[in-house]
Chains A and B, each alone.
Chain A
Amino acid sequence: MKQDIILAGVGGQGILSIATVIGSAALEQGLYLKQAEVHGMSQRGGDVQSNLRLSSDPIQSDLIPRGAADLIVSLEPMEALRYVPYLTPQGWVITNTVPFVNIPDYPPMDSIMAELGKLPHLIAIDVDAIAKEVGSPRSANMVLLGGIAALLDILDPEQLRDGIRRIFGRKGEEIVAANIKAFDAGFNYAKKEK
């Protein structure tokens, strides 16, 4: 089995923390993984993405071909839209609905949502609101990670929870618990929508 994910956002939003947990879980699961990241200039508030490929067999390209991604995960709605040409026609998009406006010509939100709405498989959620609701306001990224776990078969949700424990363990029990709560909230929400 092979599943390809594009993680998208704006430089500084922290898409790499999602990738780190997935990487840790994939390594434990004995999966092959390739994850191309963006470093350098774009991290200064530009559009950033990470190509994350998971497979039970060796992976060739570090980059996902157009039309091959099973899932686009985005911390920002317009950034989700940017990578739609990479999605397979059956693929899912899970995105935060809160825009990150740091450019003067940010398009009207309703036109972005209308474009996203044309996709066959979309989960649009206010991740900050969900994170706040479960009492983990600083764990919005983990809500999206929960969504990923619900939408992809290749990753074992329990392994991802363990991944969260490993990555955030040194920050203390409380932070781990808050992140797991956010993860579960995202997981349950996406499961319902799927």
Chain B
Amino acid sequence: MAEKQLLLGDEAVALGALHAGLSGVYAYPGTPSTEITEYIQGHPLTRERHVHDQWTTNEKTAMEGALGMSYAGKRALVCMKHVGMNVCADPLMGSAMTGANGGLVVAACDDPSMHSSQNEQDSRFWGTFGMMPVFEPSNQQEAYEMTRAAYDYSEQRTIPVIMRLTTRMAHSRAVVQPAAEIRPQNELHYPAHPKRWVTLPVNARVRNRELIKNYAQFEEDAACSPFNKLSDGPDHSLGVIACGIAYNYLMENYPDGCPYPVLKISQYPFPRRLALQLAEMVPTILVLEEGQPLVENMLRGVFPAQTKILGRIDETVVRDGELSPDEVRKALGLPALPAFAASQVLAPRPPALCQGCGHRDFYTALNNVLKIDYPSARVFSDIGCYTLGYMAPFQAIHTCVEMGASFTMAQGAAYAGTWPAVGVLGDSTFTHSGMTGLLDAVNSHADVVLCISDNLTTAMTGGQDSAGTGRIEAICAGLGVDPAHIRTIVPLPKNYPDMERVIREEIEYHGVSVIVCRRECIQTARRHASKK
């Protein structure tokens, strides 16, 4: 028997994929998904089997790379945080139309309560939207087993499978017993349905009808899945539907077993047949699901129904944020455990830019120029460590929306009359989604100052390789920025006068300016130093 291992949910997915005969992982880092790819990168099997394991430029290129690998008959994994699903939505929706050849699993890690994210979107909706099955493990062992099962299922039904994790599943460690058998990788082989892969209307219309039919089959599969289970209980006053890790929070509150009938859901499309069976047993059903009320909304009709539904929408369960054993306890009507009150002397401790970080020096210089000489300036920023420039003492940015929005929003505002319009993003965000926006700026001769605070890494997620390292100025020049207005500065306190002069000069230039502000991330610099 294989040795037991202590694995994060992310790592259990990674090991499950490797043991399922993975040939490539395609991913852009994003909390809480990053550790899936990092685990694969560090695993001996990856080297032994030459598994493709390089970070991609963004989630769209990741999804497309994996789809190509699936087309060629091999098993591929795509990993991202929930908002990455928006970036790869086009190839994701397309992949349901092409279907999978080699097993294709898309791991989407949601972040309810927004520990490290800008919204709470629930990736299960992509399954409904694109007509794809979704797997949602409830514990680390299941994460390992379901990932293996997802590859077989993906090939059996020729469809990509979305593996949905949430923060507490992704970033919690538990003992996992891997299977003894490690499956070989697939040989190169091409799709049995070549027409599906050319989504011209003439083919797509046929495929769409087929997919609609298949989706009904996926639901029937979910009803028979070993990962979904309806179990009876002695008390038929209430039934509970518990999805993913919500099942754990339910069971935590009943150490001797849940008194109510429970429908545990880990595979979608939601099997309505099982819900009907539960409704025959009980008058009221409580829906516990991590994220948005997807199942609850489906069960709540517009018209009067015999079965009463409780959940987030009627606020029996907390309306937003992640679930916890305490929130579920409250929803079940159980009294809180005796506990000490929260202390009144606490101060919040929000995250902050590290001492010695180059972003600090950049914002200091930028503020020195803007706050005194250009009070009408607006700074459009982006997703990364440098978003913390919003916090005191900098208060240096006015917007942060999604990856790449800084450069393009600055242009929109500039055209609307904002001056100076300043964009700020990091090197990894620049190559992820900023380059195309820079091309727009060049083509429209926008009056903007676009700053790339380059720390030579993808820092917020822990220092992964950044796709454009060493080539940032060349990329900008290649996109058509006048080389005289591509300026490079080194963010250090002793350089403030120089930095401020450069920023001023480029504000006064009424065209596209790029300021590359480059100094290595203090965290990766420390790691590199200790390696030496």
Residue interface mask A23-58, B partner, CB < 8 A = 1: 110110000111111111111111100010000000
- Contact B31–A39 (Cβ < 8 Å): yes
Q: Roughly how many angstroms separate A79 CA and B346 CA in the complex, as a whole number?
A: 8
Q: Chain A residues near B350 (CB, 8 Å)?
A: 46, 103
Q: Roughly how many angstroms separate A24 CA and B5 CA in the complex, as a whole number?
A: 9
A78 and B31 in contact, given A23-B173, A34-B173, A41-B351 (Cβ under 8 angstroms) = no
Q: Which of B6, B35, B347, B351 contacts A24 (CB 8 A)?
A: B6
Residue interface mask A85-100, B partner, CB < 8 A = 1: 1111100000000000
B106 to chain A, nearest CB (A): 21
- Contact A39–B34 (Cβ < 8 Å): yes
- Contact B342–A84 (Cβ < 8 Å): yes
Q: Which of B116, B248, B343, B345 contacts A60 (CB 8 A)?
A: B248
Residue interface mask B157-191, A partner, CB < 8 A = 1: 00000000000110111110000000000000000
Residue interface mask A167-193, B partner, CB < 8 A = 1: 000000000000000000000000000
B497 to chain A, nearest CB (A): 28
Q: Roughly how many angstroms separate A79 CA and B183 CA in the complex, as a whole number?
A: 46
Q: Chain A residues near B245 (CB, 8 Å)?
A: 62
Q: Roughly how many angstroms separate A132 CA and B488 CA in the complex, as a whole number?
A: 45
Residue interface mask B446-472, A partner, CB < 8 A = 1: 000000000000001110000000000
Nearest neighbor of B462 in chain A, beta-carbon distance: A39
B169 to chain A, nearest CB (A): 7
- Contact A27–B6 (Cβ < 8 Å): yes
- Contact B347–A78 (Cβ < 8 Å): yes
A67 and B336 in contact, given A40-B461, A42-B116, A44-B354 (Cβ under 8 angstroms) = yes
Q: Chain A residues near B225 (CB, 8 Å)?
A: none
Q: Roughly how many angstroms separate A102 CA and B5 CA in the complex, as a whole number?
A: 37
Which stretch in A106-114, A123-131, A136-144, A147-155 binds the other chain?
A106-114
Q: Chain B residues near A59 (CB, 8 Å)?
A: 174
- Contact A46–B4 (Cβ < 8 Å): no
A67 and B337 in contact, given A32-B175, A46-B352 (Cβ under 8 angstroms) = yes
Residue interface mask B353-371, A partner, CB < 8 A = 1: 1100000000000000000
Q: Does A18 contact B (CB under 8 A)?
A: no
Q: Chain B residues near A27 (CB, 8 Å)?
A: 4-6, 175
Nearest neighbor of A32 in chain B, beta-carbon distance: B175
B353 to chain A, nearest CB (A): 7
Q: Chain A residues near B35 (CB, 8 Å)?
A: 39
Q: Which of B172, B339, B354 contacts A85 (CB 8 A)?
A: B339
Nearest neighbor of B115 in chain A, beta-carbon distance: A40
A85 and B349 in contact, given A40-B460, A63-B325 (Cβ under 8 angstroms) = no
Nearest neighbor of A68 in chain B, beta-carbon distance: B337
A88 to chain B, nearest CB (A): 8
Q: Does A10 contact B (CB under 8 A)?
A: yes
> Chain B interface residue count: which class?
35 or more
A4 to chain B, nearest CB (A): 11
Nearest neighbor of A112 in chain B, beta-carbon distance: B345
Q: Chain A residues near B341 (CB, 8 Å)?
A: 85
Q: Chain A residues near B385 (CB, 8 Å)?
A: 44
Q: Which of A34, A41, A79, A89 contacts B116 (CB 8 A)?
A: A41
Q: Kindly count the residue-residue contacts between A and B in the assembled complex, taking CB atoms under 8 Å apart.
A: 155
Q: Chain B residues near A33 (CB, 8 Å)?
A: 6, 173-175
A38 to chain B, nearest CB (A): 7
Q: Roughly how many angstroms separate A66 CA and B325 CA in the complex, as a whole number?
A: 8
Q: For the complex, would chain B's binding face be called helix, strand, loop or mixed by DSSP majority?
A: loop
Residue interface mask A64-84, B partner, CB < 8 A = 1: 111110000000001101101
Q: Chain B residues near A24 (CB, 8 Å)?
A: 6
Q: Which of A12, A35, A102, A106 contacts B172 (CB 8 A)?
A: A35
Please report which residues of chain B, range 230-255, place their CB below 8 angstroms from some CB of chain A when the two chains form the complex.
Answer: 245, 248-249, 251-253
B365 to chain A, nearest CB (A): 21
Q: Does A158 contact B (CB under 8 A)?
A: no
Q: Chain B residues near A45 (CB, 8 Å)?
A: 349, 351-352, 354
- Contact A65–B326 (Cβ < 8 Å): yes
- Contact A65–B6 (Cβ < 8 Å): no
Please report which residues of chain B, range 317-337, place their CB below 8 angstroms from some CB of chain A when the two chains form the complex.
Answer: 324-326, 329, 336-337
A62 and B343 in contact, given A40-B115, A41-B351, A45-B351 (Cβ under 8 angstroms) = no
Q: Does B338 contact A (CB under 8 A)?
A: yes
Q: Roughly how many angstroms separate A171 CA and B270 CA in the complex, as a whole number?
A: 50
- Contact B347–A106 (Cβ < 8 Å): yes
Q: Which of A35, A42, A64 contacts B115 (CB 8 A)?
A: A42
Q: Does A115 contact B (CB under 8 A)?
A: yes
Nearest neighbor of A52 in chain B, beta-carbon distance: B173
Nearest neighbor of B347 in chain A, beta-carbon distance: A105
Nearest neighbor of A69 in chain B, beta-carbon distance: B339
B224 to chain A, nearest CB (A): 25
- Contact A66–B336 (Cβ < 8 Å): yes
B460 to chain A, nearest CB (A): 7
A84 and B171 in contact, given A46-B349, A60-B248, A66-B326 (Cβ under 8 angstroms) = no
- Contact B173–A37 (Cβ < 8 Å): yes
Q: Roughly how many angstroms separate A112 CA and B171 CA in the complex, as a whole number?
A: 30
B344 to chain A, nearest CB (A): 8
Q: Does B310 contact A (CB under 8 A)?
A: no
B63 to chain A, nearest CB (A): 22
- Contact A44–B168 (Cβ < 8 Å): no
Q: Does B32 contact A (CB under 8 A)?
A: yes
Q: Roughly how many angstroms separate A44 CA and B387 CA in the complex, as a whole number?
A: 12
Q: Does A146 contact B (CB under 8 A)?
A: no
- Contact A39–B116 (Cβ < 8 Å): yes
Known: A46-B350, A86-B339, A115-B343. 9 other contacts (CB 8 A): A12-B354, A33-B173, A35-B173, A39-B34, A45-B351, A45-B352, A84-B340, A106-B347, A111-B345
30 A-B pairs with CB atoms under 8 Å apart are A10-B349, A24-B6, A27-B5, A27-B6, A32-B175, A35-B174, A39-B32, A39-B116, A41-B116, A44-B353, A45-B352, A47-B349, A51-B172, A60-B252, A63-B168, A64-B325, A65-B253, A65-B325, A65-B337, A67-B340, A78-B346, A78-B347, A86-B339, A88-B337, A89-B338, A89-B340, A103-B348, A103-B349, A104-B392, A115-B345
Report which B residues bind A (CB closer than 8 A): 4-6, 8, 31-32, 34-35, 115-116, 168-169, 171-175, 245, 248-249, 251-253, 324-326, 329, 336-343, 345-354, 385, 388, 392, 460-462
Nearest 3 Cβ contacts at the A-B interface: A40-B116, A67-B339, A40-B31
